């Protein structure tokens, strides 16, 4: 059995905890928040054995194996570093850090401590994503030539919301665009040769909407993300022999379709979630820890670094730095 702790008790932690309860070899051991009351309320709702009023207290729990970090992005580096220094394994919510420098330091520390570290990129552990990659790797669509992927999520402006606060790592790039960037990195097998971007900065000083063209040797990826522009939120992967469509909200879709070069349907894939979709990344972490692996084959360190370097490149073009980077 793998004993889990959760750092922070926000919305994403609620979703993750529900999935955690559904995984047979996962134990809901402990949770920490900024106050003991918040942690205890969360523990009572989700069946965690113990609650702590700080991450530091939770890291002293002798049963704890791995910590899921669900705090705002600007806190990920600090919290993940504390977890690793305490000798615990890490699953850190996306985007894993603010920049590649922070990520590199965490990966180096995890290596020194011989601890498991993984970005919580749940999309890459889900059956639909794995099926699409199977179709690509087996040559069903030939050579990949183009990817189109959007993720736009209508969010009412609230100056207190972490999404709009630069000091908390706000902006659509790290919160939304990380999914299509991750898909592009996986589909094309690495970083592009060039990145061209456009951005609309909002009144709070973070990126509200963005678009990017990633140019690879074999083709290109077109990406759109934003808080207030309507998109289909689907993904289309086009190759020399066909294409793959992944349905609305592609990163959490349960459906994918395979077509030949003449637009004739070849295969449909559908698999319902066992819980809410987050269970697959939990199962992957448990498998890795049971086998003594330091990283996941589904969410490898190199891929996470590549995506962070791409997003760093976007912000460099925009001249946008978070306050912590000044």
Question: Residues 66, 181: one domain?
Answer: no
pTM of the predicted model, to two decimals? 0.97
Looking at the structure, tell me whether residues 193 and 320 fall in a common domain.
Answer: yes
Q: Give the CATH number, domain containing residue 97.
A: 3.40.50.720
Residue by residue, pLDDT tens for the chain (326 residues) are 999 999 999 999 999 999 999 999 999 999 999 999 999 999 999 999 999 999 999 999 999 999 999 999 999 999 999 999 999 999 999 999 999 999 999 999 999 999 999 999 999 999 999 999 999 999 999 999 999 999 999 899 999 999 999 999 999 999 999 999 999 999 999 999 999 999 999 999 999 999 999 999 999 999 999 998 888 899 999 999 999 999 989 999 999 999 999 999 999 999 999 999 999 999 999 999 999 999 999 999 999 999 999 999 999 999 999 999 97
Task: Give the E-state strand segments of the chain in sequence order.
Answer: 2-7, 26-32, 50-52, 66-69, 89-93, 117-120, 144-152, 194-201, 207-215, 220-226, 235-239, 242-246, 255-260, 265-270
Residue 181 to residue 198: CA distance in whole angstroms:
15
Which CATH number does the domain housing residue 196 bear?
3.30.360.10
1-to-10, 27, 31, 67, 212 alpha-carbon distances in Å: 25, 7, 17, 14, 43
Gap between the Cα atoms of 293 and 117, Å rounded: 10
Do 214 and 282 lie in one domain? The reply is no
**CB 240 within 8 Å of CB 142:** yes
Do residue 51 and residue 82 come from a single domain?
yes
**Residue ranges making up the domain that contains 117:** 2-121+278-297
C-beta separation of 259 from 178 below 8 A: no
Vertex 199 angle, CA 198 and 201, to 5°: 165
Mark whether 288 and 312 lie in a shared domain.
no
| 117 and 129 assigned to the same domain | no
Same domain for 213 and 113: no
> Is the domain of 72 the same as that of 147?
no
3-state secondary structure of 228: coil
Is residue 109 within 8 Å of residue 287, measured between CB atoms? no
Residues 87 and 151 in one domain: no
Nearest to 125 by CA among 273, 22, 302: 273
């Amino acid at each position: 059995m793998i004993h889990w702790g959760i750092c922070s008790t926000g919305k994403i932690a609620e979703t993750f905890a529900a999935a955690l309860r559904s995984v047979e070899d996962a134990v809901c051991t402990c949770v920490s928040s900024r106050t003991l009351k918040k942690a205890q309320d969360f523990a009572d709702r989700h069946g965690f054995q113990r609650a702590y009023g700080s991450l530091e207290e939770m890291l002293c729990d002798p049963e704890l194996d791995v910590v899921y970090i669900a705090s705002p992005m600007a806190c990920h580096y600090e919290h993940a570093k504390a977890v690793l220094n305490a000798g615990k394994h890490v699953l850190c919510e996306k985007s894993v850090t603010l920049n590649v420098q922070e990520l590199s330091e965490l990966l180096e520390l995890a290596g020194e401590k011989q601890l498991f570290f993984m970005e919580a990129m749940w999309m890459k552990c889900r059956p639909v994503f794995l099926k699409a990659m199977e179709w690509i790797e087996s040559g069903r669509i030939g050579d990949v030539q183009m990817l189109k992927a959007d993720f736009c999520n209508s969010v009412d402006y609230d100056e207190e919301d972490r999404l709009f606060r630069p000091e908390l790592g706000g902006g659509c790039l790290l919160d939304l665009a990380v999914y299509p960037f991750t898909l592009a990195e996986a589909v094309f097998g690495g970083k592009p040769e060039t990145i061209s971007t456009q951005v609309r900065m909002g009144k709070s000083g973070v990126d509200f909407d963005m678009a990017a063209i990633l140019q690879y040797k074999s083709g290109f990826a077109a990406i759109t993300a934003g808080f207030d522009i309507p998109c289909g939120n689907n993904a289309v992967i086009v190759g020399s022999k066909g294409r793959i469509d992944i349905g609305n909200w592609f990163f959490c879709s349960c459906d994918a379709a395979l077509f030949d070069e003449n637009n004739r349907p070849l295969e449909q894939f559908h698999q319902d979630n066992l819980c809410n979709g987050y269970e697959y990344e939990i199962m992957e972490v448990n498998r890795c820890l049971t086998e003594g692996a330091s990283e996941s084959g589904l969410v490898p360190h190199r891929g996470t670094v590549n995506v962070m370097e791409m997003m760093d490149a976007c912000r460099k073009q925009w001249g946008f730095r978070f306050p912590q980077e000044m």
